Amino acid sequence: MNRREELEEHAREVGFDLVGVAPPTPPPAGPHFEAWLENGHHAGMGWLERNKERILDPRLTLPEAGSIIVLGLGHSRAPMELEGGGRVARYAAGRDYHNVMGRMLKKLARRLDTAGFAGPSRQIVDAGPLLERSHAAVAGLGFESKAANLLHPDFGPWFFLGELLIGEELEPTTAPAPGSCGTCTACLDACPTDALISPGVLDSARCISYQTIENRGPIPTELHESIGDWVFGCDICSEVCPWGRDAPDLSERFGLHDALKDRPLVSWLEDPIPFGERYQGSPLQRPKRAGLARNAAIVLGNRGGDEALGVLLRALSFDPDGLVRETAGHSLARSFGEDQATKQALEGAAEREDDERIAAELRAARARCDDVD
């Protein structure tokens, strides 16, 4: 058994499904990433621009790096639908993968240290300064797709990536993962907001996942209807991908978080339990309370119905966060704008609003009600 094979055995004993080794050199997709940044497709994710040099050179993160160990862990591909409507991206239904993967990487690092693998190490999960899909493709964990994600022959798109930079120089993985997108354009055709502007190029500003998770401000009203039922993230490009149809369902690995058990969507706007307590240990913490409530207001507006009307009217008048009041106003105008009570509620909310920008948005929402008539 050579050193790389020994590494692979340790990784699988820790619980990883996929493991490969890439050199700590600039990623092949670096020029594509730079062009993506220059075109502004990273939207509000300014940290990508600020950390560009580190992302393009792994040795700026760990100068002593001799190898990048890339690891994959499969997750659920079972749809996650809330009572009364609303969908959550599959990866976010259970325990926070950052925590799970982080613990596994630390365990692997300790095992390698005990086994005599030389040099320091650095663990990275998702948000670290590394162009991970490009390195993962070099390490044989999949191929980069037209949906700007990584596809594996067995797991399709339904797996997480994590990396361990180590000091020891190991023989890189030489066999790339088989497969390609070929002539398939299912992901580009299915995206409801046209966020995939060309094969492999994602405009984050139009992406439902970016808007419902990373964007902390108002979601552009022109995207509200296209968001449909997605209250956190979006799986559409993965759902339509042929490579994921036969992937194993590993729902039990991360379980179902209590925050999603027997809780209808309306409770995302009206919850007596403090946000931090409700969502502890869940990826759903990322947008914070205001972001989740904003998302719920959009989806309730898309679904309509008497219950949604009542919840949105209360949010418009009483929600403590201006972002939620603003979004509730736009949802009311879009779905209930013909109702005289809605018009009066919007007028009253605009008059009471202390924030002039939000007041202007509520007045604009009230004006759109006349277009509904």
- Nearest one of 107, 116, 115 to 164, comparing CA atoms: 107
Tell the residue number behind the tokens 């493709």, with chain if given: 137
Place of tokens 């630390």: 106
Q: Name the region of 228 (left: φ>0; alpha: ψ -120 to 50; beta: rest).
A: left
The token pair that represents 165 in the structure block: 């930079």
CA–CA dist 138, 173 (Å, integer): 7
Which among 8, 34, 28 has a CA at the least distance from the CA of 164? 8
Question: How distant, in Å, are the alpha carbons of 46, 129, 271 from that of 26?
Answer: 21, 12, 47
- Of 214, 100, 209, the closest CA to residue 162 belongs to 100
Q: Can you tell me the distance from the alpha carbon of 318 to that of 111, in angstroms, rounded to the nearest whole number?
A: 53
Residue among 113, 103, 90, 132 nearest 254 (CA):
90
Q: Which of 17, 57, 113, 126 is catalytic?
A: 126
Catalytic residue at 194?
no
Angle at 151 between CA 146 and CA 153, to 5 degrees: 130
What's the distance, Cα to Cα, between the start and end of the chain in Å?
A: 75
Active-site positions read 126
